[in-house]
Structure 1
């Protein structure tokens, strides 16, 4: 998810965050559904973690502890997603 820009087709209830401050911790949270499958998740991050990402990398894990390739992250994986 790009910061400060909702993905296409998403509804935003409130938008109050306009900038990030270091060293404040933040949480990106998703709560919704795709068709009949529930979708929820969260990832904690700091400005430092975001700045340390390389090109094409994304931050994952509930504590923002894992960095992975964006293309691999977006690839469907039955072992990663369970109903």
Structure 2
């Protein structure tokens, strides 16, 4: 299975298409992404002020940095 993270450009496209009244299904089709990917992106990153692509991308970068941390050798020795 191939999986790629959404790019910042795709996030701005999602924003513009939502503003234009497109449905999640239409957005997924246009971006050639799974409907669940679009749904998950909007659910994770829509707040009181709506979907904000710049903030969404920043949050995704922060999540990626946290998940990318390596386990210390001390922890491996403990296990």
- TM-score (norm. length: structure 2): 0.27
Name the structure where helix makes up a greater proportion of residues.
2
Larger radius of gyration: 2
Q: Which structure exhibits the higher relative contact order, with contacts defined as CA atoms closer than 8 Å and separated by 6 or more residues? A: 2
Name the structure where strand makes up a greater proportion of residues.
1
- TM-score (norm. length: structure 1): 0.26
